[in-house]
A and B are shown apart, each in its own frame.
Chain A
Amino acid sequence: MTAACRPEELLIGVVAELIGRVRHVAVGALSPIPAAAALLGARHHAGTRVSILNSRRHSFFTDGGRELFDCAGQGRIDAFFLSGGQIDGAGDVNLVAIGDYERPKARFAGSFGSAYLYYVVPKVILFRLEHTTRTLVDRVDFVSAPGTSPPGTFRPGGPHALVTELCVFRFDRAAGRFTLASLHPGVTLDEVRDRTGFAFALPDHVPVTPTPSDADLALLRGPVAADLAETYPAFAADVLGWRATVGETAR
């Protein structure tokens, strides 16, 4: 009998589904759920390469910090993850500041690689758990990277979907806006409307986000957790129930 699916496991399942079949998915820092999703996906799609920042096992780079970006610029990375202090309805992300740039009300860490990777990686999955009108806004205060670009701009990449604690949105690049794709179990449409600061498109029928299959949960709690523990031991143990076997360490 499979234990009940945890919220994190639901998210891992849906993100794995969004990544789909790709040659190479890369995961940045502080991203245990995307990392677990990439590892789960790779178990379904033989040949998928997974690069996880700060992992030794899942790293192919030998040319310093530039290589990830050079690799992405050449089209060698198919999927990546970004977050944002603010994300708006046009898919713009803000990783810099709230309020006036010169004297901000809040200052975030900075744009990282967003102002490049968002343009060149075909499937960028936005992952922001906090779903409030504070994070999902009508217009971001600072555009670290825009959701779409005018015709004539080199833009093979961009947002594919936005995953939050409440729901999944798909991004429509032609329309330049999000469409609600599914509601997580127990979440209502009104709740999403109340807690979203931007307008989004609504299909006639909004499905419930599917929970992972028993087979996927078993993979997640078994080999994926053991693999993930190299980089995210606390997450693997606390959420996926990973336990180091005698004589085995996270490394």
Chain B
Amino acid sequence: MAAASLTDLDTALEAVADGMLVAIPPDYAGVAMAAARALIRRGVRELRLVCVPQSGLQADLLIGAGAVAEIETAAVTLGEHGPAPRFTAAIRAGRIRIKDATCPAIHAGLQASEKGAPFTAIRGLIGSDLLTVRPDWRVIDNPFGAGGDPVALIPAIRPDVALFHAPMADAHGNVWVGKRRELVTMAHAAAASVVTVERLHDGDLLADETLAAGTLPALYVDHIAVVPNGTWPIRFGDRPTDAAHLAAYAEAAQSEVGFQSYLQRELAR
């Protein structure tokens, strides 16, 4: 099969069009922050984000920049740096739609999509107000039970694009993610994947059994760009989060003016 195209970042991001449903990973799994800044620079609009299952600076930045129409997430937070200020402001002002979720429901929705199934069932949720604000989630009685036993149904989540950062890719378009298997789930579930990587691997990732076990095959990868340090200022592998930067962001983004000046400075880098 044809290898994923290895391009510069802006070319790879042409696959992310206005209005698309875009899946993004949590801070611990490889957040494509350079890609988010490039999308904002390009002026992307009306994105619908699916956070797998939560987000931090990446979602806050895209929301503050006016690039987001809707977000499905279990949470948005800057972690030890406090609430995500632009997310919070946008929700309070009603500027974006939110599909409040819980972590396993997002994982389950993506897993249904991986299987090509229309929905899946999960435990929990019965009696939660999440069911009230998520009319797209249904409750049925367990059809295999002896009666009663309500269970929640979650429709498949099929993102237009999965966007994430990984340690390495090879010339065939295979991407090594190690044990960050949520990236595999995202790519399987999505119609297309755009991946930034730290570096190119010299050789075939699928040729070595040990590496192959942690490899997302090119079958699921559409566009790759080499972007060293592509998650900055968010942590990646052994590289910690730039805590001073996050603290400065959390402070600046308290106000619209502060956020805009932060954004201008970062986009000009």
Interface residues, chain A, with chain B CB atoms under 8 Å away? 29-30, 54, 61-67, 69-70, 73, 95-97, 101-105, 107-120, 142-146, 149-150, 152-154, 251
Contacts and interface: CB of A to CB of B under 8 A. Distances in A.
Given A64-B183, A107-B91, A116-B123, A145 B128 contact: yes
B103 A65 contact: yes
Contacts of A97: 91
- Residue among A67, A96, A109, A154 with max Cβ neighbours from chain B (10 Å): A109
B212 to A, nearest CB: 15
Nearest to A53: B28
Given A73-B123, A144-B128, A110 B100 contact: yes
Contacts of B104: 66, 69-70, 73, 113, 116
Contacts of A109: 54, 75-77, 83-84
A108 B83 contact: yes
A144 B130 contact: yes
B40 interface: no
Interface residues of B, number: 51
B28 A116 contact: no
Nearest to A65: B182
17 contacts: A29-B79, A62-B179, A63-B181, A66-B107, A66-B185, A73-B122, A97-B91, A101-B133, A107-B83, A107-B88, A110-B76, A115-B124, A116-B105, A116-B123, A145-B124, A152-B150, A153-B126
A84 to B, nearest CB: 13
Interface of B: 26, 28-29, 52-54, 73-77, 79-80, 83-84, 87-88, 91-92, 94, 100-105, 107-108, 111, 122-130, 133, 148-151, 179-185, 238
Nearest to B147: A152
A159 to B, nearest CB: 14
- The secondary structure that dominates the A interface is loop
Contacts of B74: 110-113
A75 B153 CA distance: 20
A29 B127 CA distance: 25
B148 A69 contact: no
B123 to A, nearest CB: 6
B83 A153 contact: no
A-B pairs, top 4 by smallest CB distance, nearest first, are A64-B181, A110-B75, A116-B124, A64-B182
Contact of B124 (A61, A110, A112, A118): A118
A29 B78 CA distance: 11
Contacts of A115: 102, 105, 124-125, 128, 130
Nearest to B184: A64
Contacts of B83: 107-109
A112 B149 contact: no
Given A103-B92, A108-B83, A119 B26 contact: no
